[in-house]
Amino acid sequence: MSEKPDSAQRPALKNDRYLRALLKQPVDVTPVWMMRQAGRYLPEYKATRAEAGDFMSLCKNAELACEVTLQPLRRFPLDAAILFSDILTIPDAMGLGLYFETGEGPRFERPIQSAADVAKIGLPDPEGELQYVMNAVRTIRRELKGEVPLIGFSGSPWTLATYMVEGGSSKAFTKIKKMAFSEPQILHALLAKLADSVTEYLNAQIDAGAQSVMVFDTWGGVLSPRDYREFSLQYMARIVDGLKRESEGRKVPVTLFTKNGGMWLESIAATGCDAVGLDWTIDIADARARIGDKVALQGNMDPSMLYAPPARIEKEVADILAGFGSGSGHVFNLGHGIHLDVPPEHAGVFVDAVHRLSQPYHQ
């Protein structure tokens, strides 16, 4: 069992503008981080992954997971670190036999097909089957030395269920939608277990040192508005209700992100979350007009914009900052993960532009 550090011994946070922005408190400049900022666009990440042998071995080695978490912070003045892990850690710990097929992404040996399959799976112990994640959180938090906050995360119940029922990635989501529409009670039983498991998992990350948490609902946008509320949103709201919202004497903000969820912003904001993540398919000015008085907003540059010349990247940053306007409550990010073949120097242009160009909006 890893030694759990006394939170009172942790150094004070030197840069807290990310946490302050999530709580709509004043900041000097708009904070910025990037989804998948620790990843394949960095040559040093590729070297560390090669050292680990494979992706899950990298996730399960606390020292190497810490190393790749810190790599982007050494290159760029980012305002937050995010735990290096995977959204499929919970289904893997539930015993579904996760493996990675070259060129096809994650697959499960034993997908969920029946009520009996759902009944068989238990809730993983965050300090048991998932202790490697908590060890990574503790290690990263220690090595950050209070420079910036650490974000913990999980996949949403609906998104995790899509992989568990489909047996891996999907384009049409026919198996899980067949279950949703022909045997909804089976899917609801699975989603309820996942919601409880995600709640325990994120609370354990907070105990281990995560200072903010985020739920990634990658596939919520494939649902109709009614089905989104039934099969995705209500379970994320259940998680928000069950999360620890204070640790080490500070609030622990929670962000919900549904890709292609722009039509449901009001409903997402009503869950009680602190911030709503936006992809690039919605104008941030519209989003602020709709929900910006209730929650902070995170987003929302198209990740493909990082292929553009530096001047075009800067213009896009300027336009998004102008769209949000003055005041706090904006965490700048991409609308989804950074692409693997983006030049790292373009990411640097992006981060620097956010800090430099946002100053007038915070005077």
Q: Across the strands, what pairs with 127? A: none
**Separation between Cα atoms, residue 56 and residue 49, nearest integer Å:** 10
**Of 185, 171, 135, 149, nearest to 31 (Cα)?**
149
Q: Report whether 333 contacts 354 (CB < 8 A).
A: no
| Contacts within 8 Å (CB) and 24+ apart, 44-53 | 44/71, 45/71
Confirm or deny that 39 is annotated as ligand binding.
yes
- Residue spans of the domains in the chain: they are 17-37+252-363, 84-209+212-245
Residue 196 in 3-state DSSP? helix
Catalytic residue among 10, 49, 250, 290: 49
Residue 308 contacts by C-beta under 8 Å, 6 or more apart in sequence?
316, 346
Confirm or deny that 336 is annotated as ligand binding.
yes
**Separation between Cα atoms, residue 61 and residue 298, nearest integer Å:** 30
Structural fold of domain 84-209+212-245: TIM Barrel (3.20.20)
Catalytic residue among 16, 86, 217, 279: 86
Verify whether residue 40 is a known catalytic residue: yes
Catalytic residue among 16, 18, 20, 36: 36
Tell me if 17-37+252-363 shares its fold with 84-209+212-245: yes
This prediction's pTM: 0.96
Catalytic residue among 10, 40, 107, 229: 40
Question: Which CATH number does 17-37+252-363 carry?
Answer: 3.20.20.210
Confirm or deny that 17 is annotated as ligand binding.
no
Provide, rounded to the nearest whole percent, the portion of the chain with pLDDT above 90.
95
**Separation between Cα atoms, residue 151 and residue 141, nearest integer Å:** 10
**Separation between Cα atoms, residue 267 and residue 256, nearest integer Å:** 11
Each residue of 280-304: pLDDT tens digit? 999 999 999 999 999 999 999 999 9
Low-confidence stretches of the chain (pLDDT < 50) are: 1-3, 5-6
The pLDDT, as a whole number, for residue 174 is 98
Confirm or deny that 188 is annotated as ligand binding.
no
Confirm or deny that 292 is annotated as ligand binding.
no
Each residue of 253-264: pLDDT tens digit? 999 999 999 999
Confirm or deny that 38 is annotated as ligand binding.
yes
Tell the residue number behind the tokens 């071995």, with chain if given: 57
Verify whether residue 86 is a known catalytic residue: yes
**Separation between Cα atoms, residue 82 and residue 186, nearest integer Å:** 33
From residue 111, give the alpha-carbon distance in Å to each of 103, 116, 125, 254, 360.
20, 12, 21, 30, 52
The pLDDT, as a whole number, for residue 100 is 86
Verify whether residue 312 is a known catalytic residue: no
Verify whether residue 110 is a known catalytic residue: no
The pLDDT, as a whole number, for residue 105 is 85
Verify whether residue 36 is a known catalytic residue: yes
Catalytic residue among 163, 201, 228, 235: 163
Confirm or deny that 330 is annotated as ligand binding.
no
From residue 118, give the alpha-carbon distance in Å to each of 91, 94, 170, 308.
12, 10, 20, 46
The pLDDT, as a whole number, for residue 7 is 54
